[in-house]
Each structure stands twice: as structure tokens, then as C-alpha cells.
Amino acid sequence: MYTKLERIKKDIETMGRFNATPGKGLTRFSYTPEDRGAREYIKGEMLKVGLKVYEDAVGNIIGRMEGILKYAPTIIIGSHFDSVKNGGNFDGPSGVVMALEIARVIHENDMRLKYPIEFIAIVEEEGGRFGGGLFGSRAMVGKVTREELDTFKDDSDISIAEAMRAFGLNPDRIQEAVRKPRDIKAFIELHIEQGPVLEATGKEIGIVDYIVGIKQLEVIVKGQPDHAGTTPMTMRSDALDAASTVISQVSGFAKEAGEGTVATVGVLTLLPGAPNIVPGQVKFVVDIRSRKSECINQVCKEIMKSLEKVSEVKGVQYDIENKLYVEPTQLSKKIMDCFIENCKKLNLSSEIMLSGAGHDAMMIENITDVGLIFVPSKGGRSHCPEEWTDYEDLQKGIELVYHTILDIGGGRVT
């Protein structure tokens, strides 16, 4: 093994300390003091191994190592370093630690590769603070609009633009984060599986062939707040009564769509929010995923039909906003074959699998060849404090990526 287990462990544990909810899982939103702490650690580790470190216009951290071929396209490796609310230490940081550890191995073995390599830590993949998601990688492929920076807001009504300014970034320069396809040779991400498959099959590595398409619909149902005691049931416009009728049908719509389609309502807020007031307004977000976009569209259509019906019957209005849509993504066969070859060489058991989770890889696939591998999640748990991956399992994944980028990058030159 070239990688060092204790350094991997130290990285994960150190990054886990930059947390807004200690004792209740990890919460590290972008452009916050927790982001700042993790960012300074990552940059410090990159500088220790001689990387040229910079932050792009949206705050993605990039450590660059030149190759022998001066103007060759770059191989980028890494993942995101923000988290969901009350999440775990491994979702995202596993891929950042992969990048840091591979940079250390190349540095301490005095290696020079043909192609330049960039080691990256990406911001706001989860959308935990502002909604949407895949923000840092969308900025890299030119899919973030300046207008979005003003309309997407956090729970304190701070927009992305305001948060960026407060963090020292200039929202008017986001286009500078865009990467040109001709400048990138490949992007490789390592991520925890976040599901039960690898543990159930006893395989050490998941080689991802497809990532599901994801659509997130934000629905606002507007009724009329009224006194809960004096307003007869036949004279109410109860926004929650209407919304809950639709929400209760969402899982059925997903099952009817088939093909492993899933749909989740993970955000539900109501106003004014008092026991003796008929709910006047309800906001909920539906997250719909499938390997087939037609299944996603079918679930959306059913939700709209149900909203139409309920608005007539219950006397409410509704608005729908599409917060995120990413097509199902097929990853590079060439890179998959390289993973398979290296799993055989390294005697690692592996299986080809679908990713039900979204990843930056699906966004960066718009500009280059992309590969994504999984390492096992204990109990298949993720997006919760119980999230765990054994360091030895993470190390195996890092070794695989190390050998794979040597192959893609034309091997070591010195």
C-alpha cells in the first residue's frame, strides 16, 4: 500500500471537528465558520505537499500539480466538503481525503506524472444551506446563473450572493469558475456508497455506471389562516389539509412509476404555525429520482394533477418551483474498465452499480470523462450521525484511485 491509514483517519477526524452541531452529527454548510475551518485545514495540507493552491470564484478549493506535459489537459480528483444538516463525517470528505492522500503519496515518492493533476474540494454539493445542490460543480460547468445567487436563500433569508460576499467572494465573477472541456482530461470521485449494497454483497468497491436523474420540486400551497375554533370545517382553506392530501400520494406515484423510482418529501414547513390557527401556507419539497427521466416526469405529472384537483376541492392556490433537475448520467466506460483492471491487480472485489445518490461527478460529466467509485457504508446508513465507513475500506478505495490515475495519466515519468 502506498497510502497511510493514520493520515486518512486524521484527515476525516480533523475535518469532522469543523461542525455547527457537535454531538448531533455533522453540519457544515458552505460559506460559514465551519466551512472556513475545514477550508484552512484542506489548504494547509495541500500546501504541505507543494501544490499550487487557489479558490475559484465560488470557493471550490483547488490544489494543482503540474505534469511533464506543460499544456496537457488536467486530471481532477476529489469530492465535496460541505454536509447535510446533522449528517456524517464521510459523505464528501472521503473523496477530499482521497485527493489529499494521493497528493501526499505522489509528493513523498518524488513522482512526476505526464498530465497535470488538480486535487479539489467542492462547495455546496448538498444544497443544505441554500437548497438546490451540486452548486460548486454546477458553477464549474457554467450551470449557475447570477440570478440564482439572489433567489436561493438560507433559513435566515440570506441569499447565496450575500453569503458569498460576507465570505470574501464576489458573486458577480461566478463565470470565472467555469472550466473548458478541452482543459480537462478526466474527473475521478471517490464517495461512500450511502446504501446497503456493498455490505450486503461483501464487495469492497462499487464501480458506478449510472447516477440517477434527480428533480427537486418546491411546492407552496396557499390557503387562509383562520381561527381554529370558530371557523367551520366547511368554510376553511386549510393549506395543510390540502398539501397533506398530495403528500400522502407521493410514495404511491413513485411505486407506480417503477424502475426503482423513489420520491421523498424531506422538507415541510407551515405558517403561521400555531395550534389554534388554521394553516395559511405550507411549503414542501419533493425529491424525485430514477435512472429513467420518463419516470421522473411521470411522478411530476401525477403530483401536478393532484395539486390541481386539491386546489379546486379545498379552495387553495399553489406555486411550484423546479429547484434542481439533473438528467440520469452514464459514466465513462473507459474509466470503468480502468477501475475493473486495477481492482483485479489490487485483488479488490468489486461490482458495477447504480448510484441512487447524486454526486458532483454527474455535473462534471458535462465537460469531461468521469469515473466514480464507492466504498462501503456501515449498515448502509448516511445523511445521519450514524454514518460510518471503516478507514481500511476507505484506504482500499484510495489505493484504487491512485493506480487508476497513474494509468489515465500515462504512468509516472520520474
Binding site for ligand HGY (CB under 6 A): 125-126, 133, 357-358
397 binds, among ligand HGY, Mn ion, none (CB under 5 to 8 A by kind): none
Our CB check for ligand HGY shows the closer of 78 and 279 to be: 78
Our CB check for Mn ion shows the closer of 96 and 300 to be: 96
Least distance between Mn ion and beta carbon 357 (Å): 6
Reported residue count of the chain is 414
136 binds, among ligand HGY, Mn ion, none (CB under 5 to 8 A by kind): none
Number of residues engaging Mn ion in binding (CB under 5 A): 2
CA distance 107 to 127: 34
Least distance between ligand HGY and beta carbon 126 (Å): 5
The values of phi and psi at residue 333, to 5°, are -65, -40
C-beta of residue 58 within 8 angstroms of C-beta of residue 132: no
Q: Please identify which residue in 11, 91, 148, 365 interacts with Mn ion, judged by CB under 5 A.
A: 91
92 binds Mn ion (CB under 5 A): yes
Question: Which window, 92-100, 107-115, 143-151, 401-409, contacts Mn ion (CB under 5 A)?
Answer: 92-100
C-beta of residue 227 within 8 angstroms of C-beta of residue 277: yes
**CA angle (257, 263, 269) in 5-degree steps:** 145
Residue 72 Cα distances to 51, 54, 352, 412, angstroms:
17, 19, 30, 15
206 binds, among ligand HGY, Mn ion, none (CB under 5 to 8 A by kind): none
C-beta of residue 184 within 8 angstroms of C-beta of residue 74: yes
Residue least distant from ligand HGY (Cβ): 357
Our CB check for ligand HGY shows the closer of 22 and 266 to be: 266
Least distance between ligand HGY and beta carbon 33 (Å): 22
Question: Which window, 84-92, 115-123, 292-300, 327-335, contacts Mn ion (CB under 5 A)?
Answer: 84-92
371 binds, among Mn ion, ligand HGY, none (CB under 5 to 8 A by kind): none
Our CB check for Mn ion shows the closer of 137 and 342 to be: 137
Burial class of residue 149 (count of CB atoms within 10 Å of its CB; 0-12, 13-18, 19+): buried
Residue least distant from Mn ion (Cβ): 91
92 binds, among Mn ion, ligand HGY, none (CB under 5 to 8 A by kind): Mn ion
Our CB check for Mn ion shows the closer of 83 and 368 to be: 83
Least distance between ligand HGY and beta carbon 290 (Å): 13
Return the amino acid letter for 397.
G
Our CB check for ligand HGY shows the closer of 378 and 412 to be: 378
**CA angle (36, 38, 39) in 5-degree steps:** 60
Least distance between Mn ion and beta carbon 70 (Å): 34
Least distance between Mn ion and beta carbon 194 (Å): 7
Residue 33 Cα distances to 41, 52, 82, 149, 212, angstroms:
13, 24, 12, 20, 32
The DSSP H or E segment spanning 405 is: helix 391-408
Least distance between ligand HGY and beta carbon 293 (Å): 16
Q: What SS3 class is residue 313?
A: helix
Least distance between ligand HGY and beta carbon 360 (Å): 9
Our CB check for ligand HGY shows the closer of 63 and 376 to be: 376
Least distance between Mn ion and beta carbon 296 (Å): 19
Question: Left, alpha or beta for 50 (phi > 0: left; psi -120 to 50: alpha)?
Answer: left
- In the block, residue with C-alpha cell 384537483: 309
CA distance 134 to 127: 7
Our CB check for ligand HGY shows the closer of 39 and 323 to be: 323
CA distance 181 to 188: 15
Least distance between ligand HGY and beta carbon 192 (Å): 10
Our CB check for ligand HGY shows the closer of 213 and 280 to be: 213
C-beta of residue 330 within 8 angstroms of C-beta of residue 361: no
Neighbours of 386 (CB within 10 A): 12
Our CB check for ligand HGY shows the closer of 206 and 358 to be: 358
Which residues are at the interface with Mn ion (CB under 5 A)?
A: 91-92
